[in-house]
Amino acid sequence: MPHSVLIGFAVLVICHTSQAGYTKFPDGFTFGVATAAHQIEGAWNVSGKSENVWDRLSHTRPEMIADGTNGDIACDSYNRYREDVEELAYMGVDFYRFSFSWARILPSGRVDFVNPDGIRYYHDLLDALAEKNIEPLVTLFHWDLPQTLQDLGGWANPKMVDYFRDYADLCFKEFGRKIKSWITFNEPYEICEDAYGDEKKAPAIDSHGVGNYLCSDTLLKAHAEAYHLYNETYRPTQNGRIMISINSIWYEPSDTNNAEQVTLAEVANQFKFGWFAHPIFTEEGGYPSVMVENVAQQSAAEGLPKSRLEQFDQYWIDRIKGTSDFLGINHYTTHLITGAGVDPIAKSPSWLKDIGAVTTMNVGGESASEWLRVVPTGFANLLRWCKSSYNDPPIYITENGFSDRGTLQDYGRISYFNDYLSEILNVIYDDNVKVLGYTAWTLMDNFEWRAGFSERFGFYFVDITQPDRPRTPKLSVEYFRQLLATRELPQDERFKDPSMRRL
């Protein structure tokens, strides 16, 4: 074979994999879009729903929400779920990920009274989805704890294991005929660290270095109990699947040749992702050993008689191990590790101080959220790390998305989706990572927790200045619709930012 042909062939191969990249998703790969009850439903105090921790925070401390808004009306999905379903059907999604409002179903938090209007609402939504052939993927807990249970200590109260199991039991019994895919918890890290170890999320307990670890003890046990209940009592007849969605800010060394930074990035990933993934997805079970050691050491240095992080006993190690049919991953961004020591923003004591590394968000392109930088290669590294750390689990991406201020020509969002999806294809084809499905966050601009409506992640723009909160499709709706129709990354010129197109 003449030389030039060989070279030509090599160039072609290189172009196909790294320059042009893979574009086609494998057969059976599924796509969906996600929301969460408190962020979209509104109707916060009607039809029997009780107050939850986000109602309480946004009403009593409005200064803690960036624009002073709350979830009282949100996207009004309690009244307009049919529109939600129309939009999902237009986009052509395979599944819709949404969450149940615990306080709407069980106003006291306990099973002493089941609210018929809450039950009816979710049946109506499920029936509307079924009519359009859209599969439900339901999250039992997406942060909106009934205030009644918070008053008893929330996730720092060990009794919550029973309350959560009872709530899950009711949901499996009532809805299990219609729901074949369940998520127990959305982002345990955010629940435990941001809400109990800090005040970044409601109920803003800020018991740093203590409350966060009490929370993870309860939450992991509650998750395991719900899993076993489903597995033993409901799976035989309902034949569904159940998992947990763990979020990662993925950490990378700021200098990949710096051995100390490389080691510390691994420590940080164990503290962040491993905190909840290690107990469930490894053979060994329990918290990651580096986490156990670091917190014990820090606690000793603080003069404490025992570690702030209590280890699980053998019974619970075994009970928690293996309790997820898939690894659910919520991923948005990558941060960097710059060296050893106490991060200047760390409280004392705290989870961040326990890590013993300095972090920075100074990486990648910007979004409307300070914490969200665009680093697609970090996503690929996270996925490869999950494959090797957790014995090649089947993975669902249960959230991924980008924030701006609400522009309709949302090229930033489109290129984010395109580049992150392209990394999924790379790890599927080049590294055999078992990614089975992808969920984009989120259907429409919604109540973005402490950022209120100031950071917008939606496919549809929601005008909150108008009483009926009208929705307008952004360009990304067309992008996703084409992706869904062809199962290929859209190459259309109209999806490219005109300012880039000229280059």
For position 323 contacting ligand GBH by CB under 6 A, the verdict is no
Please pick, from the candidates 166, 217, 448, 478, the single residue that binds ligand GBH as defined by CB under 6 A.
448
Q: Does 457 bind ligand GBH (CB under 6 A)?
A: yes
**Residue closer to ligand GBH (CB basis): 36 or 290:** 36
Which DSSP letter does residue 496 get? S
Q: Is 266 in the site for ligand GBH (CB under 6 A)?
A: no
> Could you tell me the CA-to-CA distances from 385 to 273, 324, 350, 433, 449 in Å, in that order?
11, 18, 26, 10, 30
Angle (nearest 5°) at CA 398 between 289 and 390:
30
Using the minimum distance from each CB to ligand GBH, give the nearer residue, 41 or 399: 399
Minimum Å distance from CB 359 to ligand GBH? Answer: 10
Applying the rule CB under 6 A, the residues between 27 and 86 that interact with ligand GBH are 36
Amino acid in position 445? D
Applying CB under 6 A, among 25, 230, 251, 441 the residue interacting with ligand GBH is 441
Could you tell me which of 395, 493, 384 has the C-alpha nearest to residue 30? 395
Segment interacting with ligand GBH, rule: CB under 6 A, options 112-120, 182-190, 276-284, 428-436: 182-190
Regarding 250 and contact with ligand GBH (CB under 6 A), the answer is no
Shortest reach from residue 185's CB to ligand GBH, in Å: 10
Judged by CB under 6 A, which of 76, 190, 354, 404 binds ligand GBH?
Answer: 190
Smaller CB distance to ligand GBH: residue 325 or 448?
A: 448
Q: Is 232 a catalytic residue?
A: no
Place of tokens 């969450």: 99
The nearer residue to ligand GBH, 25 or 276, going by C-beta atoms, is 276
Pick one of 69, 269, 299, 330: the residue that binds ligand GBH (CB under 6 A): 330
End-to-end CA distance of the chain: 37
In the chain, the amino acid numbered 114 is V
Q: Tally helices (H) and strands (E) across the chain.
A: 20, 11
The nearest distance, CB 495 to ligand GBH, in angstroms, is 22
Q: Report, in Å, the least distance between residue 486 CB and ligand GBH.
A: 27
CB of 218 or CB of 247, closer to ligand GBH: 247
List the catalytic residue out of 187, 399, 448, 455: 399
State both tokens at 468: 């009926």
In the set 181, 186, 299, 350, which binds ligand GBH (CB under 6 A)?
Answer: 186
Helix, strand, or coil (residue 189): helix
Considering only the stretches 173-181, 184-192, 229-237, 303-311, report the one whose residues sit in contact with ligand GBH under the rule CB under 6 A. 184-192
CB 115 within 8 A of CB 101: no
- Number of alpha carbons in the 13 Å side-chain half-sphere of residue 60: 11
Residue type, 165: R
CB nearer to ligand GBH: pick between 59 and 200: 200
Q: State the residue number with the nearest CB to ligand GBH.
A: 371
Using only the alpha carbons of the chain, give its radius of gyration. 22
For 482, other C-beta atoms within 10 Å of its C-beta total 18
CB of 148 to ligand GBH, least distance (A): 22
| Nearer Cβ to ligand GBH (249/425) | 249
Q: What is the 3-state secondary structure (H, E, C) of 277-307?
A: HHHHHCCCCCCCHHHHHHHHHHHHHCCCCCC
Query: Helix, strand, or coil here: 343?
Result: coil
Q: Which is nearer to ligand GBH, 201 or 321 (CB)?
A: 201
Site size for ligand GBH (CB under 6 A):
15
CB of 361 to ligand GBH, least distance (A): 8
Give which of 109, 144, 190 is closest to 39, Cα–Cα: 144
Bridge-based pairing state of the strands 435-441 and 30-34: parallel
What stretch of H or E contains 163? helix 160-175
Q: Is 101 helix (H, G, I), strand (E, B) or coil?
A: coil
36 or 125: whose CB is closer to ligand GBH?
A: 36
Contact status: 200 vs ligand GBH (CB under 6 A)? yes
Instruction: Decide: 128 and 82 in contact? Cβ < 8 Å.
Output: yes
Interatomic CA distance for residues 262 and 260, integer angstroms: 5
Q: Which of 225, 399, 419, 478 binds ligand GBH (CB under 6 A)?
A: 399
Assigned token pair, 207 = 């018991």
| Among 101, 216, 247, 359, contact with ligand GBH (rule: CB under 6 A) | 247
Q: Is 480 in the site for ligand GBH (CB under 6 A)?
A: no
Using the rule CB under 6 A, is 347 a contact of ligand GBH? Answer: no
3-state secondary structure at position 403: coil
Beta pairing class for 435-441 and 460-462:
unpaired
371 contributes a contact to ligand GBH by CB under 6 A: yes
Stretch that binds ligand GBH, among 185-193, 265-273, 351-359, 417-425 (CB under 6 A): 185-193
Residue 2: count other Cβ atoms within 10 Å of its Cβ: 7
Q: Give the footprint of ligand GBH on this chain (CB under 6 A).
A: 36, 186-187, 190, 200, 247, 249, 330, 332, 370-371, 399, 441, 448, 457
Active site residues: 399
